């Protein structure tokens, strides 16, 4: 199942990581997140180890 979640970028460039994404990635306070940018223009979100 694919879930699509939309968030708004604030004027300072920040976005809130939705709870469903935080839970799916097991993110906690202070965790690092990386954003691999693929050649086709898609961007993934990964928990950095």
**Per-residue CA distances from 29 to 12, 16, 36, 37, 41 (Å):** 21, 13, 21, 24, 29
pLDDT digits (tens, 9 = 90+) for 10-47: 999 999 999 999 999 999 999 999 999 999 999 999 99
CB 23 within 8 A of CB 17: no
Domain count across the chain: 1
Q: What is the pLDDT of residue 49?
A: 81
Which ranges in 1-49 belong to alpha helices (H)?
19-24
| Confidence band for 1, pLDDT divided at 50, 70 and 90 | confident
Provide the residue range defining the domain that includes 12: 1-49
Tokens of 28: 């906690």
CATH assignment of the domain containing 40? 2.10.260.10
């Amino acid at each position: 199942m694919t879930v699509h979640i939309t968030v708004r970028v604030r004027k300072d460039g920040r976005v809130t990581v939705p709870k469903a994404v935080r839970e799916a990635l097991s993110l906690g306070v202070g965790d690092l997140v990386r954003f691999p940018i693929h050649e086709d223009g898609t961007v993934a979100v990964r928990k950095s180890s």
